[in-house]
Structure 1
Amino acid sequence: MAAQSQVPCPYDLHPSVAYIQAILANLERNSGRDLAAWVALARKEAPADLKGCSAWLKAQGLGGNQAGLVAQRACAAPGQATSHAFDDTPEGYLAAAPRYVEAQYAGKKAALRPLFEAIVLRARGLGSDVKVCPCETIVPLYRHHVFAQVKPFASRLDLGLALGDPATVKDPSGRLKDTGGFRKKDRITHKLEITTEADLDGVLPWLRHAYERDAKA
């Protein structure tokens, strides 16, 4: 375990960055204003709430995705808006990703960091196409889609897994928990709670199962 925690844990470009790049390119090309100009205009003239701001932007001719992005930035607190702006470019995201992880495992949660890194190492070992893409509060693991995610709490990690219909998933150990995600049509349908090194036993087969279920795009 100690040796695993010393291995670097690099991060990968989040798929949403390319999506945002496409929105930004179309926004300026189709409207004549870039994101900063639209945000400034919305803060000056649009309703202050997210829903109202988005509706106002659509009335100005923006598409739904464009309006949603501008509204999120316009209605965010200044610090939040700056933080989200890191995600606009590949370079910005990759610079921000380590800070997301550092913040997640700051303070009392620092003791959980070796467990997080051990999970990531196991996931990386499944194949060269595994991508580790930190967000502000969770770290999703991608193949073609999210097949797992790690979220820290005060004294444990939740390892979320995309395993499909709970009726088809059998766990003799009883550790695997149904998140209710399948009924809500969420990707993540199950979770394992990780509090100690011993809890890592049995993690790899479930990670592999989730990874193999995402074999096709």
Structure 2
Amino acid sequence: MDVDAATSTMIANLPERTGRPLDEWFAVLDDAGLEKHAQAMALLKSEYGVTHGFANLIVTLHRSRGIATSDESLVDAQYSGKKGALRPIYERLVELVTTFGDDVQVDPKKTGVSLRRSKQFALIEAPSAARVQLGVNLRDVAPEGRLRAATGMCTHRIDVTAVDEVDDELVSWLREAYRRA
């Protein structure tokens, strides 16, 4: 029996074995508002007498529901709500970068979009509803003007608040980061 079949069987057996179907367990966990996996499992086991295996299944499925898995849905989630107005900036950056070469990889993650060649050369994030933050890897380049020093995966960052700020200067930094990767 493969893992998917085993999971399906456990879900089908939930009402008989635990007294409730999965959607009702989700409601219990929603009402509890617990953030940690272990806390939610402890609640199901101690308060409701759910066995370890079923508690783990319920909590794992509860925590994973609504998580975007496709590239497009990951980007949609990043630019939802008040950040929606920033989506054209993201789209312009990706449009430009993909003209650099056939080896450009646009790799959405939960909180940002990694731009890669043989290694990451840039990172697009929307940390607030007011700006897109473009991180670039430009070792040995002095921060100047909009090109600020950064820590973490990228050596520099540029804050972008409007599509027209994706100008020749910004594109030159991106192109140089791509070249170095």
**Do Structure 1 and Structure 2 share a fold, with TM-score over 0.5?**
yes
Partner of 1:6: none
Q: Distance in 1 between matches of 2:155 and 2:134?
A: 11
**CA separation of 1:128/1:106 partners in 2, compared to 1, >3 Å: closer, same or farther?**
same
Structure 2 letter corresponding to 1:162? N
Cross-structure match for 1:204: 171
Cα distance between partner residues in 2 of 1:129 and 1:195: 28
Identity %: 36
TM-score by length of 1: 0.53
Secondary structure of the 1:133 match is strand
When normalised by structure 2's length, the TM-score is 0.63
Relative to its length, the structure with more strand (as a share) is: 2
Q: Which has the higher contact order (CA 8 A, sep 6+)?
A: 1
Q: Which residue of 1 aligns with 2:141?
A: 169
Task: Tell me which stretches of 4 or more aligned residues in structure 1 moved more than 4 Å.
Answer: 33-37
Give, as a single letter, the amino acid of the residue that structure 2 aligns with 1:155. A
Q: CA deviation at 1:212?
A: 0.9
- TM-superposed CA distance for 1:135, in Å, is 0.9
Separation in structure 2 between the aligned mates of residue 204 and residue 211 of structure 1, nearest angstrom = 10
What stretches of structure 1 of length at least 5 have no aligned partner?
1-32, 41-46, 50-72, 87-92, 182-186
Q: Distance in 1 between matches of 2:160 and 2:5?
A: 42
Taking structure 1 as reference, are residues 110 and 169 closer, same or farther at Cα in structure 2, changes over 3 Å only?
same
Q: Which residue of 1 aligns with 2:133?
A: 158
The 1-side partners of 2:155 and 2:63 are apart by: 29
Aligned residue-pair number:
135
Structure 1 residue 163 displacement after superposition = 1.4
Is 1:117 matched with 2:111?
no
Q: How does 1:139-154 map to 2 (within 5 A)?
A: 139-152=113-126, 153-154=128-129
Name which one, 1 or 2, has greater alpha-carbon Rg. 2
Partner SS for 1:78: helix
* 2:50 matched residue in structure 1: none
DSSP 3-state at the match of 2:130:
coil
Does residue 178 of structure 1 match 2:149? yes
Q: Within 2, Cα distance between the matches of 1:140 and 1:133?
A: 5
Give the distance between the partners of 1:80 and 1:150, measured in 2 at CA. 26
CA gap 1:142/1:80 in 2 versus in 1, 3 angstroms: farther
Is residue 143–residue 156 contact of structure 2 (8 Å, CA) maintained in 1?
no
